[in-house]
Amino acid sequence: MGKNKLKKFAEMETFPNVFQCGAREMLPSNQVHPMAGHWHSDYFHNDHPIVLELGCGRGEYTVGLARKYPEKNFIGIDIKGARMWAGAKEAVQDGLNNVAFLRTNIEIITSFFCAGEIDEIWITFCDPQMKKATKRLTSTYFMQRYQQIVKPSGLIHLKTDSPFLYTYTTEMLRLNPYPVLCSTDDLYGKSAEGIAAFDDAKALQTHYEKQWLDRGLSIKYIEWQLTPLNRFEEPTIEIEKDTYRSYGRNYNSPE
């Protein structure tokens, strides 16, 4: 591990807005984390809605949403601490009290929140996980977990460049009757112009989103309500794989 990563990890330990607990710490005891059910009282010190960003990466979307909506609380979740460091540090430096970061495995998300504690979830430009369905953040595997912590009829937002993940999620929502509030395969195209439902999704752009737009790729967006389901059906259709890759980490978008 490089010295820069070690320095970031050490600094993360000092940030008051960062909580770190991976699967190894939670298992095999599978205990509920002390913050579960206490995010309002023990961290945010208010009763404002709590919004999660899953796979938050550098935390830029989490921080951007927190700036835009001071009347809401935001928690960015990812396992990559070196990336999360940037957003966590920015939030501390700018005194954003409605932001927290949780470094953990999303598979054990139910260990950190109680039933109905979460109002919304944003999934932004996650790995489409084309080889294994249970790793996809919009799979029924994860829907069952989200249902345990999100309020009935809470909102889920997916923003992605991946045609594969968009097609898969659309099929998942067809098979499992969650109410779809809006959906587009080209967020910045003419078909989405002037539609208020897409305004929030357009308001912020991540580093990776700008990469995709620079390359002429379209951005997909779906918003649905997580009404409780008792039975789930996983999509089995064949979906064409994405044929492109992300730029390397040293890539800088053209000015």
Q: Rounded to an integer, what distance in angstroms lies between the CA atom of residue 185 and that of residue 193?
A: 13
Q: Is the pLDDT of residue 161 over 60?
A: yes
pLDDT value at position 255?
35
pTM exceeding the 0.95 threshold for the entire prediction: no
> Is 161 marked active-site?
no
Q: Is the pLDDT of residue 254 over 50?
A: no
Mean pLDDT score of the chain, rounded to an integer? Answer: 91
**pLDDT, greater one: 200 or 116:** 116
Of 117, 96, 120, which Cα lies nearest the Cα of 16?
96
Of 143, 79, 80, which Cα lies nearest the Cα of 105?
79
Compute the average pLDDT of residues 32-52. 97
Among candidate residues 127, 186, 199, 214, the one labeled active-site is 127
- In contact, 165 and 196? CB cutoff 8 Å: no
Name the helix (H) or strand (E) containing 24.
helix 23-26
Q: What is the pLDDT of residues 50-85, one digit of tens each?
A: 999 999 999 999 999 999 999 999 999 999 888 899
